[in-house]
Amino acid sequence: MTSSSPTTLLRALRDLDLPDHPEAVVVDGRALSRAGLREVAVAFASRLPDAGPVAVCAEPTLETVVAVSGCLLAGVPVVPVPPDAGPAETAHVVTDSGATCWAGPRRDGVDLPLVEVPTAPTAGDRGVDLPEPVAETETAIVLYTSGTTGAPKGVVLSHRALRTGIEGLADAWGWTGDDVVAHGLPLFHTHGLVLGVLGSLHLGSRVVHTGRPTPQAYAATPATVYFGVPTVWTRVARDPEAARALSGARLLVSGSAPLPVPVFERLRELTGHALVERYGMTETMITLSTRADGERRPGWVGLPVGEARTRLRAEDGGEVPADGETVGRLEVSGPMLFDGYLNLPETTAEVLGSDGWFATGDLAVVDADGFHRIVGRESVDLIKSGGYRIGAGEIETSLLALPEVQEVAVLGLPDEDLGQRIVAYAVVAPDDADDALAARMVEHVAADLSWHKRPREVRFVPSLPRNAMGKVQKKLMLDVPG
């Protein structure tokens, strides 16, 4: 694809000759047709002061959908900001992205021009032309994701990456304009925003955001496809009445973290559906999935999607045999890959080779049929909790700002509900080690970073195990009693 090729992302939103519906997009009970969404999205785009990027406070609202759609239609990069991000994280995202304006509710410490987001057309908005499409290689979105250390990194994704990733899933899942997609996931990361909303606006399916991803909300929302993370599906499995209400669906899809096999089996028993499991990262879109017309094996994430390619490498760089048992480092290539980490060329070069292969940091096995199973991270510092990917390093940095905390290490420990729960091991003075300090540490992270990044547990320890170089040995800490 050359740089002169125009983008076709959001194809169904651009093409008003396609069948429409008065509730093509529903967010927490508020609805717009595709024609109505296009009108207000174009109106929003016409109000932008420049070519962006635009920081969008990505609450689960219709305004978020309008703002993101307007930016993409106008070819202006969009930067979703988690609505629960604290001042430090928000300031980092706004500054690092170079955002020139803000859309959505005002946030403390954000000194950017505010662009109002319409959800109903005004007289002055009517007749505004659809912006000319930009080249597919232009940046569409910058999604901030936590690594193992430091502040979140901006993942730069082009229009082409989003389009090819979505169209690959359309093939794998038989996803068409006849579908109704339901989910209640956050609108500031790949799963909820790019797949759930932008995927539907590209393929022409209706999309219903339930406000919150509760079993009751899913059960009350008629749909053909439901998206959820393992935490959601675990809760659905514990509510037999809600689970049975989903039996009329075409597909139940799980991702963002491994789905426990007992949950897979329980949902198959209650709904009659074997869940589709898939694997991806912010940097890669979805690269592996079981198929709507193929085998769905619990604990396995299936085959490469669309134009994605995968390979497993041993520690010496050699190929790993496709025996379903030998573990290798998973690498991914294809047009759905990110362009790099914003403002971090050296960090990008560490994981994205000149040959176009991206080192995911995940370990996997593959069998003779090409089926993949993810077995874990090379590092223990990336925590997957409740569908979020959370870096331990930024939580540690935040906690070390408290004067009482002398040393701290953050780990993700197995949790039946969340997948992993965030646990902080802290070294403090003996007189300070009490429940009041633990509660204050939790509250500090929730306010400074994000609510979902707060430790679920604080354990006070006399020291942290270190090697001769002074590095904390987190693997040894997995056996530290609570």
CB 313 within 8 A of CB 332: no
| Cβ atoms < 10 Å from Cβ of 435 | 8
* Among the listed residues 69, 67, 151, 135, the one whose alpha carbon sits nearest the alpha carbon of residue 102: 67
- The answer, yes or no, to whether residue 57 has pLDDT greater than 80, is yes
List, for residues 271-290, the tens digit of each pLDDT value.
999 999 999 999 999 999 99
CB 275 within 8 A of CB 282: no
List, for residues 449-471, the tens digit of each pLDDT value.
989 999 999 999 999 987 643 56
Q: How far is CA 264 from CA 3, 274, 335, in A?
A: 43, 7, 31
pLDDT, mean of residues 435-442:
97
List, for residues 115-143, the tens digit of each pLDDT value.
999 998 776 666 678 888 899 999 999 99
List, for residues 172-210, the tens digit of each pLDDT value.
999 999 999 999 999 998 999 999 999 999 999 999 999
Which amino acid is residue 64, in one-letter code?
Answer: T
| Banded pLDDT at 480 (limits 50, 70, 90) | low
- The answer, yes or no, to whether residue 3 has pLDDT greater than 80, is no
- The answer, yes or no, to whether residue 325 has pLDDT greater than 90, is no
Report residue 470 CA to chain centroid gap: 34
List, for residues 352-406, the tens digit of each pLDDT value.
999 999 999 988 889 999 999 887 677 667 788 998 878 787 788 789 889 899 8
| Banded pLDDT at 149 (limits 50, 70, 90) | low
* Among the listed residues 239, 247, 241, 255, the one whose alpha carbon sits nearest the alpha carbon of residue 183: 255
Architecture of domain 11-374: 3-Layer(aba) Sandwich (3.40)
How is domain 382-477 classified at the CATH fold level? GMP Synthetase; Chain A, domain 3 (3.30.300)
Helix/strand/coil (H, E, C) string of the chain? CCCCCECCCCHHHHCCCCCCCCCCEEECCEEECHHHHHHHHHHHHHHCCCCCCEEEECCCCHHHHHHHHHHHHHCCCEEEECCCCCHHHHHHHHHHHCCCEEECCCCCCCCCCEECCCCCCCHHHCCCCCCCCCECCCEEEEEEECCCCCCCEEEEEEHHHHHHHHHHHHHHHCCCCCCEEEECCCCCCHHHHHHHHHHHHHHCCEEEECCCCCHHHHHCCCCCEEEECHHHHHHHHCCHHHHHCCCCCCEEEECCCCCCHHHHHHHHHHHCCCCEEEEEECCCEEEEECCCCCCCCCCCCEEECCCCEEEEECCCCCECCCCCCCCEEEEEECCCCCCEECCCHHHHHHHECCCCCEEEEEEEEECCCCCEEEEEECCCCEEEECCEEEEHHHHHHHHCCCCCCCEEEEEEEEECCCEEEEEEEEECCHHHCCHHHHHHHHHHHHHHCCHHHCCCEEEECCCCCECCCCCECHHHHCCCCC
Domain ranges of the chain: 11-374, 382-477
Dist CA 354 CA 363 (whole Å): 21
List, for residues 241-269, the tens digit of each pLDDT value.
999 999 999 999 999 877 878 889 999 99
To the nearest whole percent, how much of the chain has pLDDT over 90? 73
pLDDT for the residue 469: 37
Structure tokens at 442: 């939790």
Dist CA 362 CA 268 (whole Å): 27
| b/e sequence 112-142, b meaning 16+ C-beta within 10 Å | beebebbbeeeeebeeeeebebbbbbbbbbb
* Among the listed residues 80, 77, 3, 22, the one whose alpha carbon sits nearest the alpha carbon of residue 45: 77
- The answer, yes or no, to whether residue 420 has pLDDT greater than 50, is yes
Q: Is 382-477 in the same CATH topology as 11-374?
A: no
